[in-house]
Amino acid sequence: MAYSKKILLAIIFTIVYSNMAFSQWTKQKGKGYYKLSAWYLEADSHFTDTGETDPNTTRSQFNINFYGEYGFSDKWDIVGYIPFFSRAVENDEISATTGQLLSKGEAFNSFGDIELGLKYALLKTKNYALSVSLNFGIPTGNNSGGSDGSFQTGDGEFNQIIQTNIGSSFNLGLVPSYAKLYLGFNNRTKGFSDEMRTGLELGVNLIKNKWWLIGRADVLKSLRNGTLSAQNSQGSIFANNVEYVNLGAEIAYYFTKKLGVSFNYTNIVSGRVIYASPSFSGGIFLDIK
């Protein structure tokens, strides 16, 4: 039960990178991609710092966010992620034997941590793309929310992520497809451990210009070089030394050439100091090519 109030910060990173990691092709000048989406996770178990699973009081996290990419030249993009509403909830804890209330639940609403970045195209052809990106994590969220300070919507630190992105488009038979790969390093401050991140994305255009089916895999590895204490002043553990392997699937549908909707399911295969439950997201996007 000790981790029931100590994992929410790890979720924020997962939300951010599910949006920001896979943008290997830079936009043409004046073009862009914009998405308004909601994300939800509910968990009654978590991975401990040894990788085992333990139960916890049921907690949920709901997030509404905006993600955008804009090409201000044919080689440079501005990228941003703004979680303008984040809600963390802990359910009432009820005794399974007596039905008595053991602890009262709580909810906390806040702004989340903003991510802003730049992406530069080293190579951009019809079938291949190579880019580098630099993203900044701005501590606009709350790292001590709720009555006990454990309802974090941000980590309170300014971090920088440098990343290399590779992409290729091709046909699987007659079906248009693509593959993307990224490798990144996250420099964290205020005693948090630095991180290595990598991921793969595969997409298939099931119905031309209409339906896309996308699969993703993400791996985060902590370098365990931080100095952050296991407890903060409120007595809860920040999500330092988070590690995970995620697998996800997304389906996207274009109503028109520019407007569409998407739905995503992501499950965690293994991890440390993070919830052991799947997450769900859905949104509407505008793709100006």
42-97 tens-digit pLDDT:
988 888 888 999 888 888 889 999 999 999 999 999 999 999 999 988 887 776 67
Predicted confidence band of residue 228 (pLDDT cuts 50, 70, 90): confident
15 in a structural domain: yes
CATH number of the domain bearing residue 194 = 2.40.128.130
Return the pLDDT at 95: 64
151-160, 209-218, 233-242: which is most confident? 209-218
> Would you state the structure tokens that stand for residue 177, as one six-digit string?
């497809």
Q: pLDDT at position 229, please?
A: 58
Between 88 and 23, the more confident residue is 88
Q: What pLDDT score does 237 carry?
A: 40
In a domain, 60, yes or no: yes
Tokens describing residue 253: 């549908």
Structural tokens at position 257: 């050439």
Residues 6+ apart with CB under 8 A from 223: 193, 194, 195, 196
- Any idea what the Cα angle at residue 8 is, between residues 160 and 284, rounded to 5°? 75
- For residue 36, tell me if it sits in a domain: yes
Q: Tens of pLDDT along 2-20?
A: 444 445 555 555 555 555 5
The answer to whether position 3 is within a domain reads no
Residue partners of 46: CB distance under 8 A and separation at least 6: 3, 4, 7, 53, 54, 56, 273, 274, 275, 276
Which residues on neighbouring strands pair with residue 164, listed in sequence order?
A: 132, 183
Asked if pLDDT for residue 281 goes beyond 90, the answer is yes
Alpha-carbon span 153 to 87, nearest angstrom: 8
Which two three-digit tokens encode residue 169?
């488009």
Mean pLDDT, residues 195-223 taken together: 94
Supply 91's token pair.
């359910």
pLDDT of residue 14: 53
Q: CB count, 10 Å around CB of 68?
A: 18
pLDDT of residue 3: 47
Distance CA 104, CA 38 (A): 27
| Average of per-residue pLDDT across 230-237 | 37
SS (H, E, C) 191-255: CCCCEEEEEEEEEEEEECCCEEEEEEEEEEEECCCCCCCCCCCCCCCCCCCCEEEEEEEEEEEEC
Which residues form the domain of 63?
A: 8-91+98-288
pLDDT for residue 2: 45
26 vs 254 pLDDT, higher one:
254
At residue 18, the pLDDT reads: 52
Does the structure show a pLDDT above 50 at 1? no
pLDDT tens string 164-186: 999 999 998 889 999 999 999 99
Query: Is 1 inside a domain boundary?
Result: no
Q: How many domains does the chain have?
A: 1
Model confidence pLDDT, tens digit, residues 97-154: 787 777 788 999 999 999 999 999 999 888 999 999 999 999 998 888 888 878 888 8
